[in-house]
A and B are shown apart, each in its own frame.
Chain A
Amino acid sequence: MNGTSTSRIVRLFESAASALEADAGGPVHLVRLIGPRTSFVAGRVPDEMPFVASVRVILNEQWALLFYPAPGHSIDREKVKAMFKDLYTLS
């Protein structure tokens, strides 16, 4: 994974972030999956993070999104994956 690919993934995420947050009712983070480690890459970090079990949508073996949904909100995983379908050509 080179720097160019990472920048494009971050840009893709940032362009979708508002819509993702609106659906989830809470923060959404782009993370890198590195073995047992999940590393924060991008996303809004509010002063009060919700105390909910995060919902992980894996985009590919290196990238995922972490959602912190508000009560009453659910995550449409297939819709999310479709938004990031271009990701598969960037890995």
Chain B
Amino acid sequence: MQVDHTAPASWVNTRIKQDEVFKYMDHGRDFIPDDEIEAKIRVDEGKEPDPQQVRAILAKSMAIKDLTTDEVAVLIRVNDKAMLEEMRQTAFNVKQKVYDNRIVTFAPFYLGNYCVNRCSYCGFNHDNDTCKRKVLNDEEIRHEVEVLAGKIGHKRLIVVYGEHPKNDVDYIVESLKTIYSVKTKTRNGTNSIRRVNVNAPPFSIADLKRINEAGIGTYQVFQETYHKKTYARMHPVNTIKGNYNWRLYCMHRAMEAGIDDVGIGALFGLYDWRFELMALVYHTQELEKRLGIGAHTVSFPRLQPALNSIITPDWPYLVSDEDFKKIMMIIRLAVPYTGMIVTAREKAEIRNEAVMMGVTQMDASSRIEIGGYSDVVTAQKENKQQFILGDTRSLDALIRDLAAMGHVTSFCTAGYRCGRTGKCIMDLLRSGTEGKFCKLNAVLTFQEWLDDFASDDTKRLSQPLIDREINEIKQKNPQALDIFINYYERVKKGERDLYL
């Protein structure tokens, strides 16, 4: 028998504070002009843009300048294979310039799948009676983190909560404290979770202040779809999530609450991917214009099958692999300094290609069922998961594959610990300075992980990469060499959590 998980009306009815939406609007208008976006993507639709025009746009990206939405619309129209390859190469080069050759890794950690909303495409939909509901208690959270940090070696998490009184602000704050408190012994040192990013519902300013005070990393909320008609179709109007603008303005509220690292995203496949891509750019530009800080990360999950979802294989907006690759390239080119996350929803082959298109963050050893990390059963459990994973590589396997591609896996949390957050890190990313810090901290944290968790094969394959990185630091960043070598030697001797 399913437990009734309906939330009391008194909780539901007080969630949305309309004054905390209207105060940011422009005479009652939001910042996603549907008609304007549709018009921009229809200009010269189907016509291949002039290569000179495209190359001028690519040069602008390479100078680490944000693209205009008109320029993004031009790139969207590119279908010529040779020009797409130029775009891909430029996207990769932009990422290398801003972030160097590191990929940050993290793990998703689902704490609760109770939800009051009825999103048509989601396995956690309130009306999905086959979904086994669970919210982890303190002891269960600790067990999960002991596996994440103590056995796998993760140091960064994205914790995910449904919208329900059982996993509301009090629970979020307490769970964050629990996660940060867990310390584990490792092969040669110790480990703990050093940065917890939060994927949660939109909250009021007061609640966001409380979440901020718990020491979160990035606050992440996806609009799902920016297209208003589709949004209304997917999210019943009598649900909290049915309020488009409450969700759309949550990052304005977050920044007012003092949260300066925010992550936005869209679920590609609900509507025309070109519209969603443009809207994401509008969104980060709005944050930059109104609040002085753009999005710290942009995510672009692609719609996949979910238990009892209405999305069928002939849904007209499902995104092909080729279009998905375009989305990644264009986001990188449009917003050169933003972090880009490609999750294990995607197959390993696509994620490997994504590395060469400018993404900066990937998860691995991922378990997305509630309590999945300490669960001895290894098969994915559809009735406990929001979706099905495409890439089931272990962290060790991902690291080995990335090393073979010349990429260092980073567990860096330095910016978050050193006060390089918000506007500061955005400025440093634009100037190219942060990339130098990225390399230093990537090598330090990579060495930690290799010493504490790596298989013999991965250690052996990774050592030449570490040696090359150290040589590059000597050549390109000699002023950092002394302090870097000092920290590196200390890490080799077992000291942990050193950062610059």
- A interface residues with partner B (beta carbon < 8 Å): 29, 31-32, 34-40, 43, 45, 47-54, 66
Contact = CB atoms under 8 A, between A and B. Distances in A.
Contacts of B340: none
Of residues B214, B417, B418, B428, which shows the largest number of chain A Cβ atoms within 10 Å of its Cβ?
B418
B436 interface: yes
Give 10 closest A-B pairs by Cβ, nearest first. A35-B215, A51-B480, A40-B424, A31-B419, A47-B431, A38-B419, A37-B215, A45-B427, A36-B215, A40-B419
A51 B436 contact: yes
Contacts of B216: 37
A49 B433 contact: yes
A57 to B, nearest CB: 12
Contacts of B33: none
Given A48-B433, A51-B477, A40 B213 contact: no
A34 B215 contact: yes
A36 B180 CA distance: 8
A51 B419 contact: no
A52 B421 contact: no
Contacts of A40: 260, 419-425
Contacts of A53: 483, 500
Contacts, number: 73
B428 A45 contact: yes
23 contacts: A29-B419, A34-B213, A34-B215, A34-B258, A35-B213, A35-B215, A36-B194, A36-B215, A36-B416, A37-B217, A37-B416, A38-B417, A38-B419, A39-B260, A39-B419, A40-B419, A40-B425, A43-B424, A47-B432, A50-B479, A51-B436, A52-B483, A54-B419
Contacts of A45: 423-424, 427-428
Contacts of A54: 418-419
B472 to A, nearest CB: 14
Of residues B180, B214, B419, B477, which shows the largest number of chain A Cβ atoms within 10 Å of its Cβ?
B419
Contacts of B432: 47
Interface of B: 180, 194-195, 212-217, 258, 260, 416-425, 427-428, 431-433, 436-437, 440, 477, 479-480, 483-484, 500
Contacts of A43: 424
Nearest to B413: A36
A48 B477 CA distance: 11
Nearest to B427: A45
B440 A38 contact: no
* Majority secondary structure, B binding face: helix
Given A38-B417, A39-B258, A40-B421, A49 B180 contact: no
A71 B262 CA distance: 35
A35 B213 CA distance: 7
Contacts of A31: 419
A73 to B, nearest CB: 15
B433 A47 contact: yes
A19 B215 CA distance: 31
A38 B216 CA distance: 10
Contact of B416 (A29, A38, A51, A66): A38
A51 to B, nearest CB: 3
Contacts of A34: 212-215, 258
Contacts of B433: 47-49
Of residues B428, B432, B484, which shows the largest number of chain A Cβ atoms within 10 Å of its Cβ?
B428
A43 B419 CA distance: 11
A37 B419 CA distance: 8
B368 to A, nearest CB: 25
Nearest to B216: A37
A4 B118 CA distance: 41
Contacts of A47: 431-433
Given A29-B419, A34-B215, A38-B419, A51 B258 contact: no
Given A37-B421, A40-B421, 6 more contacts: A29-B419, A34-B258, A35-B180, A37-B216, A39-B421, A45-B424
B157 to A, nearest CB: 13
A44 B297 CA distance: 24
Given A45-B427, A49-B428, A51-B436, A35 B214 contact: yes
B211 to A, nearest CB: 10
A4 B315 CA distance: 52
Contacts of B424: 29, 40, 43, 45
A37 B417 CA distance: 5
Contacts of B436: 51
